[in-house]
Structure 1
Amino acid sequence: MLVREVVEATRRARPRQVWRSRVAIGVAVVFAVGTAVRVVGAENGAFLVPLMAFTPYFAILAVVALAIVAVVRSRAAIAIMLVVCACLAWCVVPRAVPGDAPAGGRPLRLLTTNLNGGRGDATVIVDLVRDLRVDVLSVQELTWSAREQLAAAGLGALLPYHVGRAEFRGPEGSGVYARHPLKERTGLFQPVGHHMPVVEVALPGGPAVEVVVVHPVAPVPATVPEWEAGIAALPPAPTTASTAGPAVASASGLSRVLAGDFNATLDHAVFRRLLDTGYTDAAAATGQGLVPTWPMSRRGRSLPPLVTIDHVLTDARAGAVSTRVYDVPGSDHRALFADLRIGG
């Protein structure tokens, strides 16, 4: 009788185990497809492009899923999830590991901030400029009223040189403020999106440095193609004799820094293609690439920042010593500070 009961219990348990194993494999396949989309850069459309920004959270969920399928003891699902976790770790972990800091070069202390249609607190921004001894301030969503508020808060005494275009309202305006003389440059690229000024900063001790204020449109359903075109249109990193023979991509031959709200993370394929031209993300290089910068607030509700869409990119002749983010009341973006060293 006892043997018969054991056999019947085993027969009843077997279908449940098969069902659990099939579910585990199905979950693993879903994670595998999502990971493949990220690795090969196949995201497209109004659904996948925004989701790609949450890849670090997807990686955390993958680890949880691996633990669950291990409990289920589905060998196939475990094997799939091990590969998934390894691929996602390869994508995500390096941006949290600091690299070697530049050994020398001229300091360039840069702060970039999105004013959220001019709502960002001008006094806080000017205090940051003063406390961090900022040399260059890159501003997005600069409005007429915000420009006046920055001036009233004393920005002109700290950064007396300015190039840019403010707007009455909305996200289109952008500008650059600097401690050293500026020269506006035209013809470097054709911006797609909002106003993106290019300036040459007369940094002491050597050649000037090109700074590009970056602000493509956000990838909402109606503007995903324009968003992708905006990032693809950004100028590639300038090549030098030491990195690419005699060819020089920059007509000026100057080191180039891109700073602003890219509306893209390190997981978007179009942004990675820009990096592949020779840029380095300053936050990722200093182990801060997973620190989120958006959103801080919206429609009166306080939200924790979730994704990293504000960046400072340097070419091969520059590097970052440190990066930090700061809250700016009234703005839905954190301000990003980068302490750079410019070679040459």
Structure 2
Amino acid sequence: MVDTEVRKRRRVGGGAMSAFIVLLTIAFLLAAGLRLLGIDGTRYMIATTALTPYTTAAGVILGCLALLLRRWAAGTVVLLVAVVLVAAVAPRAFPDSRPNGVGTALRVMSINMLAGQANPTAIVNAIRNNQVDVLTLQELTTQAVTALDNAGLRDLLPNRVFQADPTASGSGIASRYPLTAKSLTPPATMRQPAALVDLPGKQDIEVIAVHTLPPTAPEGPETWQRELAGLPTRDLNGPPRILAGDFNATLDHVGLRRLLLNGYVDAADETGAGLAPTWPATTFWPPPVTIDHVLVDNRCPVDTYATITIPGSDHRAVVTQFVVPAP
């Protein structure tokens, strides 16, 4: 009888604490299940999946806390699931081995201009400082084109395939090298121009400025899924292909993972920066997530990746260098 009373006293918090741990466990398992089972579903489910790195950290903490409080069943289950999530998320923080590649080094930068409000001088300075060869722009307004040219964009990247718009739906590609406009995606809510970049030598490259509709919009989930599915996979019979822009998706979403299984690598993930958030750029709510990407044809070894704060935009610019192999 005494031993039983001692054991009960050791369970800190009693029944109320047990109920609280159970509720937290259920919430964690539901969030983890969305990621592990590949369920995008509603906009709330999609937003929850975007927070998978935070869910993973919370699961580790919750599991350890539950074991510390002697809630053995809850702690064991939570930690086991958390370990599976860690195995999926943690590798993004470590660089992958880089294969040897001989060819043309190319630097690509992408920035969402927040309906043209991003500071044009800051963008041009980032292009100059990072020696950018190809730039993709999302939410490119007609007024922003004029502002960028006044800041010196045309002097640095004189070739362009722009589909600017008075609203936030415009996008564009600017390049140091000649461009030929192409049509590589079906019609979408936002403009998604594509171009063949005529690089020095025999090997060229295709670039698509990606901007899918945010899935958190009321009409967003189905449209977002359809637009992600409409992005082209790698073409082994054609030039290497690059998808750069605002995917409104993280590496935990099914649509983006499907692209990575079809011939692309994520430049941030390749260089150990896969957990570096890109949106929102300057606030901590909602929790920052990584939704801007440069997906590189896996025939192209990735060298570097960085994010850059651009005043006036709620997204951080992303810039990467990779090698376009000789044919």
Please report how far the alpha carbon of residue 302 of structure 1 lies from its aligned counterpart in structure 2 after TM superposition. 8.2
Within the alignment, does 1:46 sit opposite 2:31 as a pair?
no
Please report how far the alpha carbon of residue 209 of structure 1 lies from its aligned counterpart in structure 2 after TM superposition. 0.3
Percent identical pairs in the alignment equals 38
Deviations 1:72-104 (A, max 9, x none): 212212220221121110121011110122422
On the 8 A contact 1:65/1:81 being kept in 2, the answer is: yes
2:258 corresponds to: 273
1:141 corresponds to: 139
Return the letter of the residue paired with 1:221.
P
1:191 corresponds to: 187
The 5 A counterparts of 1:315-326 are 315-326=297-308
Separation in 1 of the partners of 2:7 and 2:122? 69
Separation in 1 of the partners of 2:3 and 2:94? 54
On the 8 A contact 1:296/1:303 being kept in 2, the answer is: no
SS at match of 1:69: helix
The 5 A counterparts of 1:16-35 are 17=14, 20-21=17-18, 23-35=20-32
On the 8 A contact 1:29/1:80 being kept in 2, the answer is: no
The 5 A counterparts of 1:156-175 are 156-168=154-166, 170-175=167-172
Kindly tell me: are residues 8 and 44 of structure 1, through their superposed partners in 2, closer, same or farther at Cα, counting changes over 3 Å? Answer: closer
Q: How many residues align?
A: 323
Deviations 1:21-75 (A, max 9, x none): 5653453343223212201211310211111111111111111101210112122
Correspondent of 2:78 among 76, 81, 95: 81
Separation in 2 of the partners of 1:322 and 1:191? 32
Please report how far the alpha carbon of residue 144 of structure 1 lies from its aligned counterpart in structure 2 after TM superposition. 1.1
1:112 corresponds to: 110
The 5 A counterparts of 1:117-136 are 117-136=115-134
Correspondent of 1:282 among 253, 267, 284: 267
Q: Which runs of 5+ in 1 are unaligned?
A: 241-247
Please report how far the alpha carbon of residue 14 of structure 1 lies from its aligned counterpart in structure 2 after TM superposition. 8.3
Within the alignment, does 1:62 sit opposite 2:59 as a pair?
yes
Separation in 1 of the partners of 2:291 and 2:108? 17
Separation in 1 of the partners of 2:256 and 2:150? 36
Return the letter of the residue paired with 2:240.
S
Q: Which runs of 5+ in 2 are unaligned?
A: none
- Say which one has the larger Rg: 1
Kindly tell me: are residues 8 and 147 of structure 1, through their superposed partners in 2, closer, same or farther at Cα, counting changes over 3 Å? Answer: closer
Within the alignment, does 1:208 sit opposite 2:204 as a pair?
yes
Return the letter of the residue paired with 2:246.
D
On the 8 A contact 1:191/1:234 being kept in 2, the answer is: no
Within the alignment, does 1:36 sit opposite 2:21 as a pair?
no
TM-score (norm 1): 0.88
